[in-house]
Structures are given as structure tokens and as C-alpha cells.
Amino acid sequence: MKHLSELEQRLEQAAHEVRQAARHSVPPPFEHRAGRPTPPGWLVFALAFGAVVLAVGVLPMLSRSERPDNTVGEPSPTTAAVVTTTIPATSTSPVVSGDCSASGLPMPADQEGLPDQVADTRLAIAEAAIACDFETLESLAGPDLTTSFGGGGFDNIPRWEEEGTYPALHLLVELFDTPFASQDFEDLPRYYVWPSAFVYETWDEIPPADLEALRTIYAQEELDQYSEFGSYALWRIGITEDGEWRFFVAGD
């Protein structure tokens, strides 16, 4: 294509076709279901196969490679932790404004080894958290985002902030500045997890540098408790390899 104007024409024409085709789509009514929207067709399928899919889907945020109480049928990671990053010595830009637990925090530095989509989501979440921008943050949440406790969704995050239960936004930013790890599960996309400490089966396996990174977030007593417990079960964030923010949870 020699001229960009020709490209422009093709794009305009293709866009026109897409808009025309979309006019054939009739919006399904929301009002006929007591105010609840009509579930998309694929959701019907998802419900039919829900039990299995859900059981598999929540595993990465709940378990390490081999929990003692693994049940038959639970997938185990095909690869254990693969930790590649080091803690950035310096952070990048200073912060913006806002009034929340993340106000004034620096943006986490770039981390090497992340797929572009994961890196984009990580930085977008951190940026929104620092700006105390719940609107953007919610739009970045995956449809199945799980937050502690008891399988809550995004709503826990503003609630924790407003009630002062947990400094959720602060944690999001700080955790993203720790080393990450990736985990593979059968039939699931790869997960990227912050901090890397979570994917180690025992506390003793966590590399010293990765433990050091946790000291900027947690008091020594907290870390000692989990050292005695045997593994890291504090806050962690998970993003799938295609950039879906999937969990922000704590606890065993």
C-alpha cells in the first residue's frame, strides 16, 4: 500500500462495515429480569460446566504446587516458581495526588521478563491505585477477580480503604514492587504472581532477596509468624498471561 490515504480508506470502509453489522444486534432487555441483566449465552454454558471450571480457576490463588489436602482432579502446576526479577534499586516517577493509602507512593519500576499484557495491567493497576482512582481500578478488574475474604470481588477494595480495614491500594502498589513468579497449571493460562514468595512451598525455599523485598511491606513479627507457619500466605496479586487481573487475596 503506497499511500497512507489508501490505508485510511480501507480502515474507514472496514469500520463502516463493522458498525453496520452491529446494528443487527438487538440489545437484550435488562428490565425483564427483575432488574438483572440477561446473562450472555456463554454464561449459560459456563454454569453448566461451572463446578469444574470454578474449581480449577480458583486454584492458583489458593494453593501452591502441592497442598497436603489436594483432592483428586485438582491440577498441579506443571512448573514450579520461575522467579526472574530482582528488586529495583530505585523507583520511577513520583506521585500524583489523591487521598488514600497509596497516595504519595512512587510507581513500581518496570520489571523484566513480563509479557507485555501482564506488564501493562500491572502498571495500570499501580497507576490507578496511586491516583486513588477506583473508577479506573474497577475497570481493570477481570470479570472473575477474587479478593479476600470468602471470595469477594472488586467491591472489597474500596470498602477496605474506606473503612480502614486494610490499606488495599498501598498493598497493591508495594506488592508490585516485589519480585514476581510465574506458575503453570494444566489447562489454564500461566499466572504471574506478586510476591514470588507465595509460589514456594516452604518458607526456607524463598530466596533471601525475595524475602528482603517483603520487609518493606510487613513487620518482622508478621514475617516471623509465617516463617513458623511454614510458607507465605500473606497478600498476593495474580495476573494471567493475557493480562487479566485475577486475584488479590491473603490468607491460607
Partner 1 sequence: MPSRDQGTPEVEPFEVFYRREYTRMVAVARALLRSGTAAEDLAQESFVAAHRHWGRIGGYDDPGAWVRRVLINRATSFQRRLGAEWRAFDRLGQRADERTVPELTPQATEVWEEVRRLPRRQAQATVLHYVDQLSIEEIGEVMGCSSGAVKSHLHRARNRLSERLQAWDEEEV
Q: Report the interface residues with partner 1, using CB under 8 A.
A: 1-2, 4, 7-8, 10-15, 17-25, 27-28, 30-31, 36-42, 44-46, 49, 97-100, 116-117, 120-121, 124, 127-128, 131-136, 138-140, 142-143, 155, 158, 161-162, 189, 240, 242-244
CB of 125 to partner 1, least distance (A): 11
Among candidate residues 115, 113, 64, the one with its CA nearest the CA of residue 84? 113
Identity of the residue, 61 or 83, whose beta carbon is nearer to partner 1 in the bound complex: 61
148: phi then psi, degrees, rounded to nearest 5: -65, 155
Least distance (Å) between residue 225 CB and partner 1: 31
For partner 1, which is the closer residue by CB, 14 or 202? 14
Taken in order 127, 129, 131, 136, the sign of the CA dihedral is positive
- Of 108 and 142, nearer to partner 1 (C-beta) is 142
For partner 1, the closer of residues 33 and 215 by Cβ is 33
* CA–CA distance, 44 with 248 (Å, rounded to integer): 27
Q: Report in angstroms how near the CB of residue 4 gets to partner 1 at its nearest.
A: 6
Buried b (16+ CB within 10 A) or exposed e, 79-112: ebbebebeebeeeeeebeebebbbbebbbbbebe
C-alpha cell at 82: 520461575
